[in-house]
Amino acid sequence: MSGGRFKPGTSGNPAGRKPGTGEVAKLRQGIAKHIPAITRKLVQQAKAGDVQAARLLFERVIPPLKAAEHASALPLPDGTLTQQGRAVLAAAAAGEIAAGQAAQLVAALSALASLTGTDELAARIAALEARHAAR
């Protein structure tokens, strides 16, 4: 150890407990030999109609399904961002697009409003600086 740091790859406690010798590791080793029999029993129970056994097997083997939204075309009016936001909300209220899609579109419109405001401020500052420099 130099300067308060250990060398990479060197243990701070070389005489410490060896990996795989703790209580959890011992428990896993004790269970590991029984896993094939337990799995066979769970499959038998699930086949016999045990819903809990089937659920346990499925939860461990098949990843959960994620909700998926399909893209929907939504024509937005040529107008202000507020008018476009209202069109998005109206489409969601009418069931034309999903609520999650509406939320994403409104967030995108909000980000666009922020960018537009920044662009407009930058243009105004540039114009003011040009006027000031001309004096």
Q: Residue 89: is its pLDDT beyond 90? A: yes
Residue 70 lies in a domain: no
CA gap 15, 18 in Å, rounded: 8
Structural domain count, the chain? 2
Residues 91 and 47 in one domain: no
Mean pLDDT value across residues 95-124: 93
Shared domain check, 87 and 49:
no
Of 61, 57, 31, 32, whose CA–CA distance to 43 is shortest? Answer: 57
At 135, the amino acid letter reads R
- Confidence category of residue 48, pLDDT binned at 50, 70, 90: very high
Domain-embedded: residue 107: yes
Nearest residue to 70 (alpha-carbon basis) of 103, 108, 97: 97
Q: What is the pLDDT of residues 96-108, one digit of tens each?
A: 998 889 999 999 9
Structural domain containing residue 105 = 81-134
